[in-house]
A and B are shown apart, each in its own frame.
Chain A
Amino acid sequence: MAIIGYLIRRLLTGIVVVWLVATAAFFLFFARPVMTVARQLAGRAATPQVINEVISNLGLNQPIMTQYWHFLDGLVHGNLGYSYFTQQSVDSMLKQDLPPTVSLVIGGMILWLLAGLSVGIISATRARSLFDRFSSVAVLVGLSMPVFVIGELLILVVFIPLNQHGITWIDTGYSGPSQGLGKFFGHMLLPWITLAAVQAAVYTRLTRGQLLDTLGEDYIRTARAKGLSERRVIFRHGVRAALTPVVSQLGVDIGQLLGGVVVVESVFGLGGLGQTSVQAVYQDNLPVIIGFVIIAALFVVVANIVVDLVYAALDPRVRIT
């Protein structure tokens, strides 16, 4: 029962956060001279006619608080505005862009959790072995590299040579699962690795450290003394305790994940939310940016709630506070 109360509290906090972000975004974008705003909303190619149309459509001449009210109203009804530049409503654009981003995020997350946790566990259990030392170096390199560098190097070293030898399975750009799973994986493999690489390094280091600390605890000695097999000791007792900091790190990383998504999409031309938003900056296309900001905030809040719930499930102490 306590968990329902916790959930409700988190949802309320989440709604407040999204509202705050939307408000901040609104005032940042709209609290400027009317012409500047109108021009950005209308898009680069806009004629003075279109600009005036925009001003009257969106009521940009009205007092700022009235505009704010309309803005909130629109949000609640799921209307994120209209991109004059591309002649599309922002929500439909975003819906188009969702599949690549979602595929990237989910696949990447699975990959880095698997890689990070397993390498971390093996390193901890075989501390100071060759494997451990090697993985420490790899981790350090991984931590040092920007995501886009990894992406570019992968393209240079994997995609280009393969391509030149006629192997086209690995490819840039996005191809949905509906168009063939094989093709899907071929397009997504390098992006997944790129997204996962840096994060895997972080999680490897985290898991290794936590597991080493936990394995040194007395209750582990007791478990061994009881005669449990080593594998049982490590997984049942050691890993469970080491998981909680990993989950809480996930919560922090959700935010950084968006950054990674934007970069990876740009490097591999996946055309998801991230890449579209970056292009929108070049195009001075304000409505898309606003839509992206709010969607991103929503995503962060929801993801954090999920992470907190998982954390609460793992660690009973959390629910009581």
Chain B
Amino acid sequence: MAGDDVLVRVENVVKYFPVKAGGLVRRTVGHVHAVDDVSLVIERGKTLGLVGETGSGKSTLARCVAGLLPVTSGRVIFDGHDITNLSRGAMRPLRREIQMIFQDPYSSLNPRRRVGSIIGEPFAIHKTATGAERKRRVQELMERVGLNPEHYNRFPAEFSGGQRQRIGVARALALRPKLIICDEPVSALDVSIQAQVLNLLSDLQQEYGLSYLFIAHDLEVVRHVSDKVAVMYLGRIGEAGPKDSLYGQPRHPYTVALLSAAPAADPDTAAARQRVLLTGDVPSPISPPEGCRFHPRCPKAMPLCSAEEPGLLPRAADAAADTASGAAPDPARAGALVAGGDTHLTACHFPVAAGENLAAAGSRELA
């Protein structure tokens, strides 16, 4: 992976939120480990999909990359610049390059502002266009995302959910950013509309050479749009790799369980699937489990799993392939292995081998 291809590099980012107790002086009694040592890369012109349940930390991570949240430790490097915890003033010019699309089309647009003003706001903030020129460019954008430019003066309430999301896309696109972070952009839309918006995003990527960090909890959606995928659990990355490899041979038990739970359109396929049922609830991010965070729910858990945290490394067949293809095990090389790269990485001591039936193992009582 040549350095030039990498647009965003996230290095060991940690984000904790303090939990304060009441009282005369508010003391910090604990931390929510929202993001716990995550490293990944996003390549130019490519899409990195980030999957996880609620509480996995994916939205928090997205906001750290976007500079909306300060990180507790670690670095975020955008296009060669270290943007970690930059002041608002220093961050400003970079905001033109990094944009976000939000999940809820109903609350991500100010109901009291007209659509033209909403889409035109980036131009106003960064003083790149005014007056008639701004209007022209806003209308151009509206047309490009599939909205009628004559609705320039309407309020968001007069648009459907899908159209509102397009407004959000137009707003994000206004300054021709390099990176667009999509935080569950289609989760709140009807399925038929989802397809339209996803196709729009895909077209725009090709046309403008955009990079996406695409966050979702729906695996099928992620599969459709991403080049590389990373699966998050409780603030850490459990598994990551190129799309085909990850979906074809999922190695982390959590990934396997997720995939098995995704609805399949074909009833025969669905019947033939093994459902891996995870027991227990997702633990609290305030005191995550020792060792591998997934071990309390994992059907394959062994004593080692609660003792030692598994690193994000190529495992099983991937490890063999890795050593076979490249040079010998080399610390420098190992440092280059990170989520979002070309190698399929798994954080598990006992990855699932091809053909292994996890469903059978899942019927055990868990400690």
Contacts and interface: CB of A to CB of B under 8 A. Distances in A.
Asked if chains A and B are in direct contact (CB within 8 A), the reply is yes
B118 to A, nearest CB: 36
A320 B24 CA distance: 10
Contacts of B24: 9
A9 B22 CA distance: 15
Nearest to A321: B22
Nearest to B22: A321
A320 B22 CA distance: 8
Contacts of A9: 24
A87 B101 CA distance: 77
Interface string B16-31: 0000001010000000
Chain A interface secondary structure, helix, strand, loop or mixed? helix
Nearest to B24: A9
A35 B24 CA distance: 47
Interface string A304-321: 000000000000000011
Contacts of B22: 320-321
A77 B22 CA distance: 39
B55 to A, nearest CB: 28
B317 to A, nearest CB: 57
A9 B24 CA distance: 10
A275 to B, nearest CB: 43
Contacts of A320: 22
B309 to A, nearest CB: 38
Interface in A1-35: 9
B23 to A, nearest CB: 8
Interface in B21-46: 22, 24
B147 to A, nearest CB: 43
Nearest to A320: B22
B56 to A, nearest CB: 33
A321 B22 CA distance: 6
Interface string A280-321: 000000000000000000000000000000000000000011
Contacts of A321: 22
A75 B22 CA distance: 37
Nearest to B23: A321
Nearest to A9: B24
B95 to A, nearest CB: 39
A161 B34 CA distance: 78
A295 B36 CA distance: 59
A158 to B, nearest CB: 52
Interface string A108-142: 00000000000000000000000000000000000
Nearest to A5: B24
B24 to A, nearest CB: 8
A11 to B, nearest CB: 15
Interface string B256-293: 00000000000000000000000000000000000000
A2 to B, nearest CB: 11
A244 B22 CA distance: 22
A9 B23 CA distance: 12
A12 to B, nearest CB: 11
A64 B24 CA distance: 36
A320 B21 CA distance: 11
Interface string B137-176: 0000000000000000000000000000000000000000
A315 to B, nearest CB: 16
A131 to B, nearest CB: 41
A317 to B, nearest CB: 11
A321 B20 CA distance: 13
B311 to A, nearest CB: 45
B169 to A, nearest CB: 42
3 closest A-B pairs by CB: A321-B22, A320-B22, A9-B24
3 contacts: A9-B24, A320-B22, A321-B22
